[in-house]
Amino acid sequence: MIDVIIAGGGPTGMMLAGELRLHGVRVVLLERDEEPTKVVRALGLHARSIEVLDQRGLVDRFLELGTKHPLAGFFAGIERPAPERLDTKYPHVLGLPQPKIERLLTEHALAAGAEIRRGCAVTGLSQDEDGVTVELADGTSLRASYLVGCDGGRSTVRKLAGIDFPGEPSRVETLLGEMEIGIPWEEAMPLMLEVRKTHKRFGIGPYGDGGYRVIVPAEGVNEDRTVMPTLDDFKQRLIAVAGTDFGVHSPRWMSRFGDATRQAERYRSGRVFLAGDAAHIHPPTGGQGLNLGLQDAFNLGWKLAAAVNGWAPSDLLDTYEGERHPVAEEVLNNTRAQIELMKVEPGPQSVRRVFTELMRFEEVNRYLVEKIIAVAIRYDFGSSDDLVGRRIGDLALKRGGLYEQMHAGRGILLDQTGRLSTCDRADRVDHVVDVSEELDVPAVLVRPDGHVAWAGDDQQSLETALARWFG
């Protein structure tokens, strides 16, 4: 029998497939579409997602294809330079279009041994104590121990599992597309920059091969979300907002998105889980959506593999929702706030001016930027030690960086004393005896997702943490 079925072949699903295969889990990924999408909704990766890739030895290929951009203007488009000395080796945004991110993750999943089936739409599911049966559009069915819905904001899996998706509907809508323009970029750019002084949801920029990425506020909210905009829609809105349509023509793709914020009531229903947009949708302000999904997969993967391989503590799978639901809730909150700050009415503009002043304070700027790039997340493990629950940086060791030790997806006991033990868990926790000038505690136990589960030098308390997280 299949161990895990993943519904949805976007970045979240592919990331999860790769994570599961690290632990020998048999994975079948079902994607409804025959071909990968060419629509570019996300444009890059933030620091925490780059760290995640580094922890699995994947980052070099992404860095090779991407472009580093400064961390400025990512909170509601307020132009403030990034804070100095951010707690990450990646204090920038890695510009990389979503199709390329998806392609690289697909290549990794395939190389790791995942089975990917395109043109397979899920139409039904049922579950019992032993597994999940998934029905497909072609009339066939598959059986697995677990099912994970990574199938987007209109998730079929979520609906079939009976999980509510409460929240707020869209109140504003934005048109997004890739097309050519009819005037030289040297003429278009000054006008675009002038309009963006007040309209932060507007923008035009070169996108390669003669194409331009065009984003412009729609006139209203289209009730039928499946209806794509036309070129005339773009022209009319460009004229209304900028006074010219820039001679746009030859569209390569066109889309629309709203500012709805919704979050799944539960991330788990028995043997069915949700991740990525299937679990939460929000405005794309700050470029957080794709990153949030990748980090969902990074949190869930090792836990699901532990359950499949028979050593997961009884409540380990429940910690996925307990840890990731609050994180997404915070993202929904900050993206909605940013949308308000980007409105052109006098009230929101007054609040925006106040925020602009506040962000001149280093502490405020740092707080908001770290929220966007997700390096300040701390899961609540019930410990008074501030280090416990936080993600760990790439500490410099005598034998290299800590992240180099995490490529296999196991836990790490980084022991500067040489006196501690993983207690016969060598198959799931690597005991690394080494020292780092960047670590001011004797030892740390790091989960496979890079979060600190324990810190100290007491073997008895270490054994309690090992049992909690590693069975």
pTM: 0.93
Domains 173-258 and 396-470 share a fold: no
Residue 208 confidence (pLDDT) above 80? no
What is residue 210's predicted lDDT score, i.e. its pLDDT?
82
What is residue 214's predicted lDDT score, i.e. its pLDDT?
95
What is residue 43's predicted lDDT score, i.e. its pLDDT?
83
**Can you name the CATH fold of 396-470?**
Glutaredoxin (3.40.30)
Mean pLDDT of 110-123: 97
Distance of CA 268 to the CA centre of its chain: 18
Residue 80 confidence (pLDDT) above 80? yes
Mean pLDDT of 333-362: 92
Q: Show the tokens assigned to 363.
A: 């502490």
pLDDT in tens, 140-162: 999 999 999 999 999 999 999 99
**CATH, domain range 2-167+262-373:** 3.50.50.60
Mean pLDDT of 65-87: 88
The domain segmentation of the chain, as residue ranges, is 2-167+262-373, 173-258, 396-470
Residue among 289, 324, 402 nearest 51 (CA): 402
Mean pLDDT of 365-387: 94
| 173-258 CATH, one of 3.20.20.70, 3.40.50.300, 3.30.1540.10, 3.30.70.2450 | 3.30.70.2450
Q: Would you mind telling me the total number of residues written for the chain in this entry?
A: 471
What percent of the chain is predicted at pLDDT more than 70? Answer: 100
Residue 197 confidence (pLDDT) above 90? no
Helix axes 185-196, 231-242, angle to 10 degrees: 60
What is residue 416's predicted lDDT score, i.e. its pLDDT?
97
- Which residue in this structure is represented by tokens 């121990």? 145
Mean pLDDT of 122-126: 97
What is residue 41's predicted lDDT score, i.e. its pLDDT?
79
Mean pLDDT of 180-205: 93
* Residue 202 near residue 196 (C-beta atoms within 8 A): yes
The span from the CA of 340 to the CA of 57, in Å, is 39
What is residue 284's predicted lDDT score, i.e. its pLDDT?
87
Using pLDDT thresholds of 50, 70 and 90, give the confidence band for residue 79.
confident
Q: Which residue has the higher pLDDT, 223 or 367?
A: 367
pLDDT in tens, 412-461: 999 999 999 999 999 999 999 999 999 999 999 999 999 999 999 999 99
What is residue 296's predicted lDDT score, i.e. its pLDDT?
98
The mean-pLDDT minimum among 102-111, 114-123, 250-259 falls in 250-259
